[in-house]
């Protein structure tokens, strides 16, 4: 796992004068770190202000309530995740197996798969049943990802002769990755991102054996 401090362990403190957008970005990053350290329910405006090195009043100037701050933090995480997988997919090769591999690797890049962000995601997921915030803020992005992955799985059938239900296989891939994210947070014996990826490749090898192996995508025949 990577360092949870987005500025690095020896980074200088943020400047006193920042643009509005930069200051809000700083506060959101501090919110992610605070959620990771304290959990969703125990995250307070005071704790975030302290983490950001700001006064409580300045934080309130940018985010009037805890609910608004948490909602915009979740928006930021969701949009960051969407931009990450879309960029990875755009850079992938044209074959459907290239798309699947790109989506998998994107989920384990250091900018996405780090302790602070995984902990924040887990905290929001834990609140999804009792608070509508997650479905309201992330539902459209989740639906877009699901449709995209299912379409790629359908192309695996069409292009390579597999006969799997693309909705179920897409769900399996998604749940496998989300489960590994959770396991990275709670596993009794921690393992690294390479092992996490190997676990996903092993699952894909069972479904698409001509295109994936436990070590990763197979070379084209």
Domain spans in the chain, listed from the N-terminal domain onward: 71-217
Token digits of residue 130: 């009792």
Three-state SS string across 98-158, please? HHHHHHHHHCCCCCCCCHHHHHHHHHHHHHCCCCCHHHHHHHHHHHHHHHHHHHHHHHHHH
CA separation for the pair 183, 196 (Å, rounded): 9
pTM of the entire predicted model: 0.86
Fold for 71-217, please state it: Tetracycline Repressor; domain 2 (1.10.357)
Instruction: Check pLDDT > 50 for residue 6.
Output: no
Tens of pLDDT, residues 181-221: 999 998 888 899 999 999 999 999 999 999 999 999 999 87
Whether residue 88 contacts residue 102, with contact meaning beta carbons closer than 8 Å, is answered with yes
Tens of pLDDT, residues 126-180: 876 546 778 888 889 999 999 999 999 999 999 999 999 999 999 999 999 999 9
Q: What's the pLDDT band for 26 if we cut at 50, 70, 90? A: very high
């Amino acid at each position: 796992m990577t360092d949870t401090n987005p500025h690095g362990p020896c980074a200088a403190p943020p400047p006193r004068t920042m643009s509005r957008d930069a200051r809000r970005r700083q506060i959101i990053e501090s919110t992610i770190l605070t959620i990771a350290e304290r959990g969703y329910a125990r995250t307070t405006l005071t704790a975030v202000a302290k983490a950001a090195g700001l006064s409580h009043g300045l934080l309130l100037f940018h985010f009037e309530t805890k609910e608004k701050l948490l909602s915009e933090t979740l928006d930021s995480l969701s949009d960051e995740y969407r931009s990450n997988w879309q960029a990875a997919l755009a850079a992938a090769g044209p074959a459907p197996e290239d798309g699947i591999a790109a989506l998998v690797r994107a989920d384990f890049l250091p900018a996405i798969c780090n302790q602070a962000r995984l902990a924040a995601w887990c905290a929001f997921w834990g609140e999804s049943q009792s608070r509508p915030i997650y479905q309201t803020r992330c539902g459209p992005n989740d639906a877009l990802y699901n449709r995209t992955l299912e379409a790629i799985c359908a192309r695996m059938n069409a292009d390579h002769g597999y006969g799997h239900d693309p909705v179920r296989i897409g769900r399996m891939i998604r749940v496998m990755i989300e489960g590994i994210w959770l396991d990275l947070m709670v596993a009794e014996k921690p393992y690294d991102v390479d092992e996490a990826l190997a676990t996903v490749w092993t699952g894909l090898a069972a479904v698409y054996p001509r295109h994936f192996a436990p070590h990763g995508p197979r070379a084209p025949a």
